[in-house]
Chains A and B, each alone.
Chain A
């Protein structure tokens, strides 16, 4: 069975601090995809990144970076120099190949960035 665990329910930081959101996944499939989504207070889920299981290269996009490690089944997300606008709930998700591309979501991590 597939599962995504985001152990951090809520994180609070002060602006300009770096923060890492943890994501641990479980799957027996060798081909799978990992995602991060951001849910601001408005509610809409905003796509941030997608990685496939064969690409373990870390990725950086502006202040955002992602660390994918198959050895520990983790796909962690770091925000550098956090800003108030980063305050949101962040979801990690897993999709495995098959007949559909169902997303299995973690329970989310609420990030609060204080000025």
Chain B
């Protein structure tokens, strides 16, 4: 069966520190991968998506970047965190165009 993992589950980081969140998918190959952010009490905003290794599309210009070094690995990074980067980060995968997206457990990031 297909599963999606994210780590860490929670993270508290000071302003200006770097960030690396990891997402991995098991049980499937060549998935589409997505990073979403959910600010407190708000809906989900798509940050990045990837249709293949090394292929990253950004939806919102910001302080974050994404990479896909392997087929089933998706990484969200920042060189210097801002207070506004706090939120709940969700990774998702799908098997193709307009297929259902399945979400990971999320990472709760607090920037102090």
Contact = CB atoms under 8 A, between A and B. Distances in A.
DSSP majority for the A interface?
Answer: loop
B108 A95 contact: no
Interface in A57-115: 91, 95, 97-103, 105-108
Contact of A43 (B49, B51, B106): B106
A47 B102 CA distance: 7
B46 interface: yes
Which size class do A's interface residues fall under?
A: 20 to 34
A97 B105 CA distance: 27
Contact of A44 (B51, B97, B105): B105
A1 to B, nearest CB: 14
A30 interface: no
Interface of A: 33, 35, 37, 42-47, 50, 91, 95, 97-103, 105-108
Sorted nearest first, the 8 A-B pairs with minimum C-beta distance are A45-B103, A107-B43, A101-B98, A43-B106, A105-B44, A105-B43, A44-B105, A50-B100
